[in-house]
Amino acid sequence: MSEPRDQIREHARRLLDEGKVEVIIGYEKGSVPLQSTPCFVRDADNVERLIWDSTCGPNLAKYLFDREGKTGIVAKACDARSIVVGIVENQIEREDVVVIGVPCEGVIDLKKIDAVLDGKEILEASMDNDKVSVKGDGFEQILSKKEFLCDSCISCRHRNPPVYDILAGDELEETKESDEFEEISKLEAKSPEERWNHFSKELGKCIRCYACRNVCPLCYCKECFVDETMPSWCGKTTDLSDTMTYHIIRALHIAGRCVDCGACSRACPEDIDLRALTKKVEKIVRELYDYEPGLSLEELPVLGIFEQDDPQEFIK
């Protein structure tokens, strides 16, 4: 079987040639080493631009939410799950999308690599199955890819897209090596005081750039609550109270929808541990309603429905 990259190109060429889609959304090599960038291929002659490797981090599902017309999309498992949520929430037409699913072993987190390089700039990089070699001015290092995967990829439970039209590459075996809620359990074990201090410090770093919101495929509201002014529920300052409100409400808005693709964490310029919130709401929803988003086209959004016997111990 050929490489996933070649299969993606082959399928893309066929889809464009046959006129099944107007555009293929995929990844191409970025201008910076170890970074890929989204690309839109409209012409079958250009499919060679498409790539597939461990730098393909961005969640491309974002682009489907305001698109019309037939679109082909290269989707990792988490992207595919975001697409499923979009379809379930009637934001994406199933018939309009051709999902080229790619089983994914995780993408690398550039921030982690930057941290070990101690500020040295990478000028050249190459990758194979489990090694990343980086070169720069006066240094060369070979790194083990496994250690530099995104946090969300390390605890990933769904490496194969749950919904796809075409699968590029072979299905991978799902792993359950680490406890996906390990970090959350650690925080939960602390006292409320300690947790408050932790989140004050963490969310206090926020500069309200809204990169986390802008990159999130599920933040598709035409007008976000932070932009509303009449009434203005969320203050626009970087006062701790306002930033906390922003992050609490954002976490609530993606409760039962977030597929933990890690896009928000990767986008954050202040390196805020956003997964401490998103993973927590995922855990709450899992524990209370036994629900995992983005796995099935049949299930309705968990916070939009109810059962007569939902847990209600907290209600007097």
Partner 1 sequence: MTSVEIKSESKKIEDMDKEWEPKVLAFLCNWCSYAGADLAGIGRIQYPPNIRVIRVPCSGRVNPFFLIKSLQCGIDGILVSGCHPGECHYVSGNLVARRRFAVLKSLMEYIGIEPGRLNFSWVSAAEGEKFSRVVSEVVKEVKALGPVKRLVKGE
Residue 196 is a binding residue for partner 1 (CB under 8 A): yes
Residue 229 is a binding residue for partner 1 (CB under 8 A): no
Q: How far apart are CA 92 and CA 60, in angstroms?
A: 13
Q: Which residues contact 194 (CB under 8 A, 6 or more apart)?
A: none
Return the closest-CA partner of residue 113 out of 266, 264, 261.
266
Q: Cα–Cα–Cα angle for 190, 196, 201, nearest 5°?
A: 110
Query: Which one of 197, 214, 238, 296 is in contact with partner 1 (CB under 8 A)?
Result: 197
Query: Which one of 255, 263, 264, 268 is in contact with partner 1 (CB under 8 A)?
Result: 255
Instruction: Compute φ and ψ for 236, nearest 5 degrees.
Output: -100, 5
Q: How far apart are CA 45 and CA 142, in angstroms?
A: 35
- Cβ–Cβ < 8 Å for 272, 206: yes
Stretch that binds partner 1, among 101-109, 115-123, 215-223, 240-248 (CB under 8 A): 240-248
Shortest gap between Cβ of 84 and partner 1 (angstroms)?
A: 20
Query: Which one of 27, 52, 148, 199 is in contact with partner 1 (CB under 8 A)?
Result: 199
Q: How far apart are CA 214 and CA 217, in angstroms?
A: 8
Site for partner 1 in 41-60 (CB under 8 A): none
Which amino acid is present at 278?
T
Residue 312 is a binding residue for partner 1 (CB under 8 A): yes
Query: Which one of 70, 195, 205, 208 is in contact with partner 1 (CB under 8 A)?
Result: 195
Nearer to partner 1, 228 or 270 (CB): 228
Locate 245 and state its tokens. Answer: 């409100």
Return the closest-CA partner of residue 6 out of 37, 36, 51.
51
Query: Which one of 3, 43, 174, 239 is in contact with partner 1 (CB under 8 A)?
Result: 239
How big is the chain, counted in residues? 316
Query: Which one of 28, 245, 286, 295 is in contact with partner 1 (CB under 8 A)?
Result: 245
Nearer to partner 1, 161 or 256 (CB): 256
Stretch that binds partner 1, among 21-29, 33-41, 60-68, 248-256 (CB under 8 A): 248-256
Residue 311 is a binding residue for partner 1 (CB under 8 A): yes
Residue 193 is a binding residue for partner 1 (CB under 8 A): yes
Please state whether 125 falls in left (phi above 0), alpha (psi between -120 and 50) or beta.
beta
Q: How far apart are CA 76 and CA 164, in angstroms?
A: 10
Q: What does DSSP assign to residue 134?
A: E
- Cβ–Cβ < 8 Å for 67, 24: no
Query: Which one of 89, 249, 295, 299 is in contact with partner 1 (CB under 8 A)?
Result: 249
Site for partner 1 in 272-301 (CB under 8 A): 277, 280-281, 284-285, 288-289
- Cβ–Cβ < 8 Å for 233, 257: no
Q: How far apart are CA 264 and CA 249, in angstroms?
A: 15
Residue 306 is a binding residue for partner 1 (CB under 8 A): yes
Here's the x/- map for partner 1, 171-190, by CB under 8 A: it reads as ----------------xx--
Residue 303 is a binding residue for partner 1 (CB under 8 A): yes
Residue 235 is a binding residue for partner 1 (CB under 8 A): yes
Binding site for partner 1 (CB under 8 A): 187-188, 192-199, 225, 233-235, 239, 241-242, 244-245, 248-249, 251-252, 255-256, 277, 280-281, 284-285, 288-289, 302-306, 308, 310-312, 314-316
